[in-house]
A and B are shown apart, each in its own frame.
Chain A
Amino acid sequence: MSSREKSLSAEPETPPKRARFSLSSWVEERVDLGSVREFIRHKTVPHHRSSYWYYAGGITLFLFLVQVLTGSLLLLYYQPSESNAFESVRFIVTQVRFGWLIRSVHSWSANLLVAMAFIHMFSTFFLKSYRKPRELTWFSGMVLLLLMMAFGFSGYLLPWNTLSFFATMVGTNIAGALPLIGNFMLRFLRGGDSVTGSTLTRFFGFHVAILPALTILVLVLHLWLIQKQGMSTPLQLEKESRERGENLPSIPFFPNFLMRDMMAWYIVLAVVGWLATLFPWELGVKADPFASAPPGIKPEWYFLFTFQTLKYIPARILPFEGEVLGILAFGLGGLLWFLVPFLDPNPSASRWSRGVNQAGIWIVIFILVMTGVGYVAK
């Protein structure tokens, strides 16, 4: 008997029966998934007459995932240089199979993503979900919105067409008009004094590396906070349920809420597919830095209300430059909006809190009107 055989015979006898292989038990033996299962089983979501607003955040997240997928696909063919960018996008939409569809889905879903993020933000605002303890969720959400707009601004230039070239010229000039940091911002954004191939390379870097990295960090924080604190419920409903002495009704997250969420995603995907197929995103004409700007240069629609308002501000207001004052006013407005949880710390039926709400309504009206005017005006 060899030493190996001896050692084997010394081991306690194990039954030779072999259990049927199961992937879940194979994983379970190595990683304890019990806690995850327990967590999923116990997670619930409030269910009430305003709970459809909850889907706005999920749809925004879904559209972001569509962006990541289609953006990664476009990267396989896109060439970020002044001489090749336009041609490579033309190659994608004319030569690569379904290239037109992938690009159109990327552009349409990007726009719907920003629209959904706005809807999500305003629903959070009017339901006063930013109140304690969810201030950090509001702040992280606002940062995400800014990041999405930065994605839009940087991505707009990448096809290197006339419209995007001059929109970038105007957009970076607006940043350049800021006092003190304007010159730095202008050169930082453009990668030089004017919009050139260096700007394109830089915007490409922002769009596919820096912004995604920042977004992942803030998105994880945002989702973690939502998970940690649960969904907020409207004040009125909280009050009603308190008066009745009952807890607000809720539904299990899995599968009930997730199935509803996915149903909403499916509908959104259908809408994106419909838009991308029937209204493919245009490529335009290749940018020529030495040609005159064509009439009707406009930024993406979500910058349009700012752009249009700046047009109405006179060149000089007393000793100050009108445009600088306008930009500073928008900056201040944005800052106040960002700090809403501190400006309205105890949302209730108080007069102050109602005033914050009314200000919100006026802001929405202002944005809608100025965006509309921006589209109609020459």
Chain B
Amino acid sequence: MENVGNGKRRKILQFLLGTGVSASFITFLYPIIAFLLPPKTRASGPNYVEAGALQELPVNSGKVFQFGSQPSILVRTAEGELRAFNATCTHLGCTVQYVPESKVIWCPCHNGMFDLHGRVIAGPAPRPLQEHKVNVLEGKIIVSRA
């Protein structure tokens, strides 16, 4: 009779110990997992940036410049129009470039191509490039978020 009582007590103790230890392990794991995830930094930055002087950008050429923490691309078309886009390819994030011969924006990583409105014309990119506004003020090219 006493053994039966002992067996029961042992089971209860084992259950309490097991659940107690498991629960405390979860409480140890929680801060570790939370620590592993980097804190969100606000994607803030300037709303506009000076991308250079107009006279330094020849017709039918492009240049990559820094806009906040991201690269952007400024293109002066063969017709002399100015266009600017986020230069991060929407496929896997490589930085695109302007190809004067074919007059397209090209991503060398997977041969993605965008027209001069940022639309995908070839390759694997799923979305068009995000376009920025361009203004010229006293000969300086000012690019701002659309």
Residues on A lying within 8 angstroms of B by beta carbon are 69, 73, 76-77, 95-99, 101-102, 266
Contact = CB atoms under 8 A, between A and B. Distances in A.
A137 B142 CA distance: 72
A97 B39 contact: yes
A44 B113 CA distance: 71
B31 A102 contact: yes
A76 B37 CA distance: 10
Nearest to A259: B17
Nearest to A273: B28
Contacts of B24: 266
Contacts of B38: 77, 96
A97 B37 CA distance: 8
A98 B31 contact: yes
Contacts of B34: 97-98
Which of the four size classes fits the interface of chain B?
Answer: under 10
A102 B32 CA distance: 8
Nearest to B32: A73
A127 to B, nearest CB: 32
A76 B31 contact: no
Contacts of A101: 31
Interface string B12-47: 000000000000100000011011111100000000
A206 B38 CA distance: 26
Contacts of A77: 38
Contacts of A97: 31, 34-35, 37, 39
A98 B39 CA distance: 11
Contacts of A95: 39
Nearest to B28: A269
Given A99-B35, A101-B31, A266-B24, 16 more contacts: A69-B32, A73-B32, A73-B36, A76-B35, A76-B36, A77-B38, A95-B39, A96-B35, A97-B34, A97-B35, A97-B37, A98-B31, A98-B34, A98-B35, A102-B31, A102-B32
A151 B34 CA distance: 27
Interface in B66-109: none
Contacts of A266: 24
Nearest to A102: B35
Contacts of A69: 32
A97 B36 CA distance: 8
Q: Which of B35, B38, B39 has the most CB of A within 10 A?
A: B35
Contacts of B39: 95-97
A77 B35 CA distance: 10
Contacts of B32: 69, 73, 98, 102
A96 B38 CA distance: 7
A247 B37 CA distance: 55
Nearest to A69: B32
A266 B22 CA distance: 12
- The 4 tightest CB contacts between A and B, nearest first, are A98-B31, A97-B34, A95-B39, A98-B35
Contacts of A76: 35-36
